[in-house]
Amino acid sequence: MESSSDEEEVRTFVQVISEKYNPENFPYGQGLGVVILPSPPGSPVKDRLFMPSVLVLNYCGISKAGDKSDIAAFCAHVVELDLSYNRLNDWGEICTIVSSIPHLDFLNLSMNPLSGVELEPSMAEIFSRVRRLVLINTHVSWDTVHTLTRHTPELEELFLCLNDYNAVTESQTPCPSLRLLQITDNQLQQWAEVRKFGVIYPCLSTLVLANNSVDSVGDSQETLQRLFPNLRSINLNNSGLSTWDDIERLNFFPKLEEVKAMGIPLLQPYSTQERRSLLLAQLPSAVVLNGSVVSQGEREDAERFFIRYYQDRPEQELPERYHTLVSKYGQLAPLAEVDLSPRCTTVDVRWGERVVAVSLRLEQTVGDLKKHLKALLQLPNNGVRLFYINREMCSVLGPEELKCGCRALHSYSIRDGDEILVVPKVKGRCSSSHL
Task: Say what the pLDDT of residue 25 is.
Answer: 59
Instruction: Taking residues 284-313, report their average pLDDT.
Output: 95
In a domain, 10, yes or no: no
In a domain, 210, yes or no: no
In a domain, 396, yes or no: yes
In a domain, 399, yes or no: yes
Tell how strand 62-64 and strand 11-12 pair up. Answer: parallel
Q: In terms of pTM, does the model score above 0.75?
A: no
In a domain, 66, yes or no: no
Rounded CA separation 23/46 (Å): 10
Q: How many domains does the chain have?
A: 1
Q: Identify the domain containing residue 418 by its residue range.
A: 344-426
Task: Say what the pLDDT of residue 6 is.
Answer: 47
**CB burial string 373-403: b at 16+ within 10 A, e below:** beeebebeeeebebbbbbeeeeeeeeeeebe
Task: Say what the pLDDT of residue 391 is.
Answer: 82
Mean pLDDT of the chain, nearest integer: 88
| Residue 400: closest CA among 427, 418, 380 | 418
> Over 80: is that where the pLDDT of 98 sits?
yes
Task: Say what the pLDDT of residue 206 is.
Answer: 98
Instruction: Taking residues 356-374, report their average pLDDT.
Output: 86
Task: Say what the pLDDT of residue 400 is.
Answer: 87
Per residue in 12-50, pLDDT (tens digit) is: 999 999 888 876 655 444 444 444 444 444 444 444 555
Residues belonging to the chain = 435
Task: Say what the pLDDT of residue 14 is.
Answer: 95
Confidence of residue 435 (pLDDT cuts 50, 70, 90): very low
Per residue in 196-228, pLDDT (tens digit) is: 999 999 999 999 999 999 999 999 999 999 999
In a domain, 83, yes or no: no
Task: Say what the pLDDT of residue 194 is.
Answer: 98
- H or E element at residue 397: helix 394-397
Confidence of residue 237 (pLDDT cuts 50, 70, 90): very high
For the chain, percent of residues with pLDDT exceeding 90? 64
In a domain, 179, yes or no: no
CATH (domain of 391): 3.10.20.90
Lowest mean pLDDT among 79-83, 312-316, 427-431: 427-431
Per residue in 115-149, pLDDT (tens digit) is: 999 999 999 999 999 999 999 999 999 999 999 99
In a domain, 132, yes or no: no
> Over 60: is that where the pLDDT of 232 sits?
yes
Please give the C-alpha separations between residue 384 and each of 162, 350, 352, 381, 421, in angstroms, as whole numbers: 75, 12, 12, 8, 10
For residue 234, give the 3-state DSSP assignment. Answer: strand
- Whether the Cβ atoms of residue 117 and residue 93 lie closer than 8 Å to each other: no
Q: Backbone phi, then psi, for 359, in 5-degree steps?
A: -90, 125
Give the contacts of 93 (CB within 8 A, at least 6 positions apart): 63, 64, 65
